């Protein structure tokens, strides 16, 4: 089977019936055609399940995808007023679902857990919303959130959404410099964080990182007025830790070895602020196209861009993709393992599940602590029925052997899904055969921060699947494969993956930079949204995503800009030039391979390698640390000085078939670079 995996078609799993929504491939096709030919009729029917303070007054859908016809814009349900927080929480309380568990929380250590109902969630959200109001934060203001995977991160998100405040969540693995860049770009006056977090046995001092980021903002002329600190690790009898005996108890709470600094009156404890706050806070009714959140994603220029999503469209799309792509039913226990700091956590940890009144699991830890069976232990503990994780995690856990999976009961599982990068067929088959015990539908989802939700994926119980294929488009999405010249590939073939018309969840702009929005996504192929990914359509119509075709690398489902890494490297005093390309990685899918040219007087040593990796970790974050760094006395360039990255990609993998080099200024550098390749590459 493994040798012919690419041609095998797996029928829908018998354990998934999806009868409430889609009973067959024929019905899927009928619904899909309706969503394309009559988007107003299709999405207005879905909108009926939500609360609207007032209905659409303008066009239901109005857009321009063609830069030749003027500025790019997308508008859904113009003039309608609603509130996403109300629909995600209050609506369910009003429908007598207040006692339903919204989240089971699983901490880093085995004996650390908790839960929260929709009633309790509403109370905590209202209290924290009132705190934000008391600090003078109003609709349209931006708030940065830099927190671990604890329930209070969703409370902070929902409180912002309740008031029309634009939240900007920054993944807790980013460095102080990366956090500062995002605070500065959005001009955030408030940062919400935690004292610290355990990730496995690694202690992260989040408050210290925020302190350093705020200092960098001050140096750049921007003042953060309030830093709200959620006490997560520190014991309740300790306010600020400065002196005292360290207590080496790794990976558990409370944590007395954590040391934080306090800067009054800027710093404020979350628990003190909410203590006297009212549990009543009416939602602010917002226009359908009012901003909901921005989320920064790496850009090919090196400067991260703030992808902006809006109220109504994102609400419709996150809710609907969750409902159909995971075949959600009211008795399901859903678990998405992603961090809320990424778009997957926004859409499928917080907003999508809550909009469907779903019960979810939120996990603070890592899949290998205290052992590689942690995921499956949690599945057994909470009887998880729908599970969503990254191919990187799957490949990593494969390497530890099947015994860590099969020792736990996984009979509750019905749908097992993947996100973040293309999954290789071998990992797909292990996931299907071992984790799912050949009884679960595998849902391989393709989407981006910019799309707001899944755009290509199978529908469990309806569409047959092929290992490694993203399968078919979601409702309202029209994918096209384009040649380099912009002509559409007919039938089977490969090229650029683009989309022909908007769906409700698509981004509306790059925050504060409409020109960059249009240049990045719409100028290369006028009339289409360009994903930046390559792909192919096979003879059966299945779409296969082949990976990035721009200067980006997808490492462990984290999209990294090669330009951003290059910029970090050349800031080192020894480096005069750097070029970064992707390199295959058995676990991560891709990793970064860096070529560095040194200044005169510097030598390529083990100490320098350590310094360069530390430089990238400091400037961007630990997850961006390069796997390979190679000395490059010269780089292959065209006569006009452009680095020939396709040649570097060949050198990185040791492939001497480098193709046409007639435009290369100095061909001798290629042989030298092959000689200097690291032995472990």
Give the tens place of pLDDT for each residue, 224-269.
999 999 999 999 865 554 444 455 678 999 998 999 999 999 999 9
492 pLDDT band (50/70/90 cuts)? confident
What pLDDT score does 112 carry? 97
The answer to whether residue 556 scores a pLDDT higher than 70 is: yes
pTM: 0.85
d(CA 325, CA 338): 17
Collapse the DSSP code of 233 into the 3-class scheme (helix H, G, I; strand E, B; otherwise coil) and give the result.
coil
pLDDT in the model for residue 20: 41
DSSP helix/strand/coil, 334: strand
Note the pLDDT of residue 495: 86
| Euclidean distance between CA atoms 155 and 142, whole angstroms | 16
* Burial of 511 from C-beta contacts in 10 A (0-12 / 13-18 / 19+): buried
Reply yes or no on whether the pLDDT at 675 is more than 80. Answer: yes
CA distance 12 to 25: 10
DSSP state of 434: I
Confidence check: pLDDT of 177 > 90: yes
Strand residue runs (E) in 321-422? 333-336, 359-363, 386-389, 415-418
- pLDDT tens digit sequence for 427-479: 899 999 999 999 999 999 999 999 999 999 988 878 788 888 887 899 999 99
3-state secondary structure 546-563: EEECCCEEEECCEEEEHH
**Average pLDDT, stretch 204-212?**
97
At 680 the pLDDT is: 83
Joined together, the tokens standing for residue 317 give: 């799309």
* Residue 76: pLDDT over 50: yes
- Could you give the CA distance from residue 353 to residue 349 in angstroms, rounded to a whole number? 7
- pLDDT value for 340: 96
Burial of 403 (0-12, 13-18, 19+ CB in 10 A): exposed
pLDDT of residue 506: 98
The tokens 């560095």 sit on which residue? 596
Contacts of 642 (CB under 8 A, 6+ apart): none
Residue 299 pLDDT class (50, 70, 90 cuts): low
pLDDT: which is higher, 107 or 237: 107
Cβ pair 260, 205 in contact under 8 A: yes
**Per-residue model confidence (pLDDT) at position 588:** 83
DSSP letter for each residue of 54-94 = B---S-SEEEE--GGGSS-EEEESTT-EE-HHIIIIIHHHH
Burial of 501 (0-12, 13-18, 19+ CB in 10 A): middle
Residue 12 has pLDDT above 70, yes or no: no
CA distances from 129 to 139, 164, 192 (A): 11, 10, 13
CA atoms of 557 and 185, how far apart (whole Å): 24
Q: Are the C-beta atoms of 439 and 432 separated by less than 8 Å? A: no
The answer to whether the beta carbons of residues 635 and 597 sit under 8 Å apart is: yes
Handedness of CA 15, 17, 22, 28 (dihedral sign): positive
Q: What local confidence, expressed as pLDDT, does residue 27 receive?
A: 80
Tens-place pLDDT, residues 17-72: 444 445 567 788 889 999 999 999 999 999 999 999 999 999 999 999 999 999 99
Least confident of 205-209, 334-338, 542-546: 542-546
The per-residue pLDDT for 16 is 47
pLDDT of residue 240: 52
- Residue 301: the pLDDT is 54
Q: Is residue 379 within 8 Å of residue 349, measured between CB atoms?
A: no
CA distance 610 to 629: 10
Q: Tell me the pLDDT of the chain averaged across its residues.
A: 90
Whether the pLDDT of residue 642 is over 80: the answer is no
Could you please report the per-residue DSSP string of 130-158?
A: HHHHHTT--TT-EEEEE--SSHHHHHHHH
Tell me what the mean pLDDT of segment 82-93 comes to: 98
Arithmetic mean of pLDDT, 399-405: 92
**Looking at residue 663, what is its pLDDT?**
63
The pLDDT score that the predictor gives to residue 599 is 86
Is residue 194 within 8 Å of residue 150, measured between CB atoms? Answer: yes
Element (H, E) at 207: helix 206-219
Rounded Cα distance between 624 and 610, Å, is: 14
Residue 639 pLDDT class (50, 70, 90 cuts)? low
Phi, psi (5° rounding) for residue 279? -90, 10
The whole-number average pLDDT for the span 512-535 is 94
């Amino acid at each position: 089977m493994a040798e012919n995996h690419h041609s095998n078609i797996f029928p829908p799993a018998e354990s998934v019936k999806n009868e409430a929504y889609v009973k067959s491939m024929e019905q899927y096709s009928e619904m899909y055609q309706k969503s394309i030919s009559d988007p107003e009729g299709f999405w207005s029917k879905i909108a009926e399940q939500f609360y609207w303070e007032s209905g659409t007054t303008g066009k239901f859908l109005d857009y321009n995808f063609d830069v030749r016809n003027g500025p790019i814009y997308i508008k859904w349900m113009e003039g309608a007023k609603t509130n996403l927080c109300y629909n995600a929480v209050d609506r369910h309380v009003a429908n007598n679902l207040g006692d339903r568990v919204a989240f089971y929380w699983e901490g880093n250590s085995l004996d650390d857990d908790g839960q929260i109902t929709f009633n309790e969630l509403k109370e905590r959200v209202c209290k924290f919303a009132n705190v934000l109001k008391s600090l003078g934060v109003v609709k349209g203001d931006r708030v940065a959130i830099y927190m671990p995977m604890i329930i209070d991160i969703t409370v902070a998100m929902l409180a912002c959404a309740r008031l029309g405040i634009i939240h900007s969540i920054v993944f807790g693995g980013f460095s102080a410099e990366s956090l500062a860049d995002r605070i500065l770009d959005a001009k955030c006056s408030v940062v919400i964080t935690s004292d610290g977090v355990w990730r496995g046995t690694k202690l992260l001092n989040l408050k210290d990182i925020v302190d350093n980021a705020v200092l960098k903002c001050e140096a750049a002329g921007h003042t953060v007025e309030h830093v709200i600190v959620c006490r997560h690790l520190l014991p309740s009898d300790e306010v600020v830790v400065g002196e005292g005996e360290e207590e080496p108890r790794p990976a558990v709470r409370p944590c007395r070895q954590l040391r934080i600094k306090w800067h009054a009156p800027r710093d404020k404890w979350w628990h003190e602020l909410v203590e006297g706050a009212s549990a009543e806070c009416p939602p602010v009714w917002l226009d359908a196209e009012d901003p909901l959140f921005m989320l920064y994603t790496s850009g090919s220029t090196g400067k991260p861009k703030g992808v902006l999503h809006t109220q109504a469209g994102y609400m419709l799309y996150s809710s609907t993709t969750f409902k159909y792509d995971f075949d959600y039913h009211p008795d399901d226990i859903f678990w998405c393992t992603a961090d809320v700091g990424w778009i997957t956590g926004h859409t499928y940890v917080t907003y999508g599940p809550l909009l469907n009144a779903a019960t979810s699991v939120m996990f603070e830890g890592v899949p290998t602590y205290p052992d590689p069976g942690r995921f499956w232990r949690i599945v057994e503990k909470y009887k998880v029925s729908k599970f969503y994780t990254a191919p990187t995690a799957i490949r990593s856990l494969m390497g530890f052997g099947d015994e860590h999976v099969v020792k736990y009961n996984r009979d509750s599982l019905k749908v097992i899904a993947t996100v973040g990068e293309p999954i290789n067929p071998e990992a797909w088959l292990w996931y299907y055969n071992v984790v799912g015990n050949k009884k679960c539908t595998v849902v391989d989802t393709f989407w981006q921060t910019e799309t707001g939700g899944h755009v290509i994926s199978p529908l469990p119980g309806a569409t047959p699947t092929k290992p490694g294929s993203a399968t078919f488009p979601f409702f309202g999405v029209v994918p096209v494969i384009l040649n380099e010249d912009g002509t559409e590939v007919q039938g089977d073939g490969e090229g650029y993956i683009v989309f022909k018309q908007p769906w409700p969840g698509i981004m509306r702009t790059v925050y504060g930079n409409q020109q960059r929005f249009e240049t990045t996504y719409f100028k290369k192929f006028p009339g289409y949204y360009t994903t930046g990914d390559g792909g192919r359509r096979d003879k059966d119509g299945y779409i296969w995503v082949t990976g990035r075709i721009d200067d980006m690398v997808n490492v462990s489902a984290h999209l990294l800009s090669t330009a951003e890494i290059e910029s970090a490297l050349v800031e080192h005093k020894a480096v005069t030039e750097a070029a970064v390309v992707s390199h295959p990685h058995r676990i991560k899918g891709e990793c970064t391979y860096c070529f560095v040219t040194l200044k005169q007087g510097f030598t390529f040593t083990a100490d320098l390698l350590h310094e360069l990796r530390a430089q990238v970790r400091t400037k961007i974050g630990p997850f961006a640390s390069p796997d390979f760094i190679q000395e490059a006395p010269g780089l292959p360039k065209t006569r006009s000085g452009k680095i020939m990255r396709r040649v570097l990609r060949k050198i990185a993998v040791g492939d001497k078939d480098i193709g046409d080099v007639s435009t290369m200024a100095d061909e001798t550098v290629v042989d030298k670079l092959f000689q200097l390749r690291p032995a472990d590459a």
